[in-house]
Structure 1
Amino acid sequence: MAINVQGLQGRWNQLKGEVKKQWGQLTDDDLNWSGGNIDHLVGRIQQRTGESRENIEKYFDRLMSEGSSTVSKAVEQVGSYAQDMSHRLRDHYGDVAEQAREGYYQAREYVGQAPMQWVAVAFGVGLLAGMLMGGSFSHQQQSRSRFWS
């Protein structure tokens, strides 16, 4: 049976606790694995526990597949959540668009009923905005002239 050495090595710090749960007599020194020598690690576990090499390899394979299925489940859940949010946003977009459309039609109706009043309101808003912008612009010009003087 071939152990996925690269996958095991990449997750070894996470899996070490699970191996200790399985075989409580193992120490951190027993599980110190460097250089990617899986045979040495399995041999050390076999020697300390009396477990067969085949059982140790099966256990490692099971650990790796459980971890992979956990990651797959998480990815699947995130995808499902994103899809659900997409549907909700799409549903609410229709509501917002409908409200904007209704607001537009109401505004058109109000302006149509009293166009001169709305022209006066628009003129007043424009005048006020112009005065605010002009005052702001004038203040900026004065600040710059004082800076350069």
Structure 2
Amino acid sequence: MKGRLKEHWAQLTEDDLRRAEGSADRLVGVVQQKTGATRNEIERFLDSLFSGGVRDQASETVQQYSDAAQRVAAEASQYAREQAQRFASQSSDYSAKLVDRARTRPGETLAIAFGLGLAAGAFLFLGRKK
């Protein structure tokens, strides 16, 4: 804000603005004294400074949040892709191991499949009786 004031009224110095710090009335008085501008003119400029500044800050903040949300979404998407690839790789590894086990030990695989079939049948049969 100080920069904008000094830009608008070049005769203002840091000391002038420091004297007026904390009070809008003092600021108006200092600007009037240094520049000869009317109170009304100064107040209109200050109002435009505050309304434009707040709007610009709000717009900038919204943009920052939007950018942050986009970064988080991109990171989440990348993480999900990596996890899906990892899961697919592990699934493929387990599938290959299962096929290898069935080829190298067919009797053991058949016994396990038979046992699982009996367990599933008993479970379904007992579940229907209730």
Range of TM-score over shorter length = 0.5 to 0.7
User: Do structure 1's residue 32 and structure 2's residue 18 form an aligned pair?
Assistant: yes
After TM superposition, the structure 1 = structure 2 runs for residues 120-135 of structure 1, keeping only pairs within 5 Å, are none
Instruction: Provide the rounded CA distance (Å) in 1 between the counterparts of 2:83 and 2:7.
Output: 57
Where relative contact order (Cα < 8 A, 6+ residues apart) is larger, the structure is 1
SS where residue 16 of structure 2 aligns?
coil
Instruction: Provide the rounded CA distance (Å) in 2 between the counterparts of 1:23 and 1:41.
Output: 12
Q: State the TM-score, normalized to the length of structure 1.
A: 0.57
Letter in 1 for 2:90: Y
SS where residue 18 of structure 2 aligns?
coil
Cα 1:29–1:83 change in 2 (3 A) is closer
After TM superposition, the structure 1 = structure 2 runs for residues 55-70 of structure 1, keeping only pairs within 5 Å, are 55-70=41-56
Percentage identity across paired residues of the two chains: 30
Q: State the TM-score, normalized to the length of structure 2.
A: 0.63
User: Do structure 1's residue 71 and structure 2's residue 57 form an aligned pair?
Assistant: yes
Letter in 2 for 1:114: D
Instruction: Provide the rounded CA distance (Å) in 2 between the counterparts of 1:92 and 1:37.
Output: 52
Tell me what 1:50 maps to: 36
Cα 1:60–1:107 change in 2 (3 A) is same
Q: Work out which of the residue numbers 99, 103, 122 in structure 1 matches 2:89.
A: 103
Letter in 1 for 2:74: R
Q: Which runs of 5+ in 2 are unaligned?
A: 103-130
**Displacement after TM superposition at 1:22 (Å):** 0.8
How many corresponding residue pairs?
102
Letter in 2 for 1:44: V
Instruction: Provide the rounded CA distance (Å) in 1 between the counterparts of 2:21 and 2:3.
Output: 20
Instruction: Provide the rounded CA distance (Å) in 1 between the counterparts of 2:84 and 2:28.
Output: 66
Cα 1:25–1:94 change in 2 (3 A) is closer
Q: Which runs of 5+ in 1 are unaligned?
A: 1-14, 117-149
Cα 1:114–1:71 change in 2 (3 A) is same
Tell me what 1:21 maps to: 7
Which has the larger Rg?
2
Root-mean-square deviation (CA, aligned residues, Å) is 2.4
Higher percent of residues as helix: 2
